[in-house]
Amino acid sequence: MNKSATIYVAGHRGMVGSAIVRQLLGAGYAPESIITRTHAELDLTNQAAVRNFFAAEKPSQVYLAAAKVGGIHANNTYPADFIYQNLMMQANVIDAAFQNGVQKLLFLGSSCIYPRQAPQPMAENALLTGPLEPTNEPYAIAKIAGIKLCESYNRQYGASHGVNYRSVMPTNLYGPGDNYHPQNSHVIPALIRRFHEAKVSGAPSVAIWGSGTPKREFLYVDDMAAASVFVMNLPKATYEQHTSPMQSHINVGFGSDITIAELARSVGQVIGYQGDIDFDSTKPDGAPRKLMDSNRINALGWQAKVNLHDGLGLAYQDFLHQTGC
């Protein structure tokens, strides 16, 4: 690792971006070598602003963790925002990076890039083999475009300009910096809020949408940050040995999944909720299973470290801190 490199972390206030900053600082990078900008300081959908930023700062590496994200409700309500804003941010940052001599860039995608009916666990070669989940298709299309942007710049400018842009696809993430909004959050932060409020109010039961039978995989965000830095710093020959020019992304998962019912019981246990859990099977379940095949990154030498029980405890402490409870 080049500890003297100047590194731009796009999206440093988000859950993943802030974890990447923590990981870099913990690995010995100097605070002054990490470049960040808030949305108020730099609107990544503004092409001219992004170009001016790169021309002035000249980072040597980029972690592209900035994205508009949300759960099913948000994706269904704002599909145009999700596809437009993510496409623009990615295109602006990746091209400005290239135009200003950045040779190393890491793009962070999402497990929703894979077809809704992809074989489980979902391997990298499942990309573009079938229809996507309709509820988050616009977001998924944008993320797929980000992968293909990186691959296209590598193919066109890798030999001539030393461009080496990589992509990692995380499974469902949770942990410090998560969004605990009552409507627009993902499943773990939503459950943490719901069980905490039920505990405080003394509610006799908590209602959970769906049957509780679908299975999901969850990865603690600091493990994802560690994986991101790990992949960014792999030797070029090693990365290319485990990928191909038009299938260059790498999955990052925990390695196992649990049912939503098991997850709900685990969250309730961590929070200390003593009431009942009711599953409303009249509500949609979503995909029956979403498990990532992480054999590729495991073979490269990376493994997740934080188990779900410990991670949920850390996430609950973050919720209490964020909400002032």
Cα Rg of the chain, angstroms: 20
Q: Is 139 a catalytic residue?
A: yes
DSSP letter at 131 equals P
* Amino acid of residue 78: Y
Q: How far is CA 193 from the centre of its chain?
A: 21
Of 184, 208, 204, the C-alpha closest to 194 is: 208
Give the C-alpha separation, 114 to 290, whole Å: 9
Neighbours of 114 (CB within 10 A): 28
Catalytic residue among 29, 139, 165, 220: 139
The number of helices, as runs of H, and strands, as runs of E, in the chain is 11, 13
Task: Give the DSSP H or E segment for 325.
Answer: none
Residue 217 contacts residue 172 (beta carbons within 8 Å)? yes
- Tally Cβ neighbours within 10 Å of residue 301: 9
Which residue matches tokens 């100047």? Answer: 6
Give the count of beta carbons closer than 10 Å to the beta carbon of residue 159. Answer: 9
d(CA 253, CA 237): 23
The answer to whether 175 touches 254, Cβ cutoff 8 Å, is no
Report the candidate in 173, 180, 218, 223 with the shortest Cα–Cα distance to residue 318.
180
Chain position carrying tokens 């809020």? 193
Q: Is 3 exposed, middle or buried (0-12, 13-18, 19+ CB in 10 A)?
A: exposed
- Gap between the Cα atoms of 89 and 192, Å rounded: 30
Residue 225 tokens read as 């940050």
Residues annotated as catalytic are 139
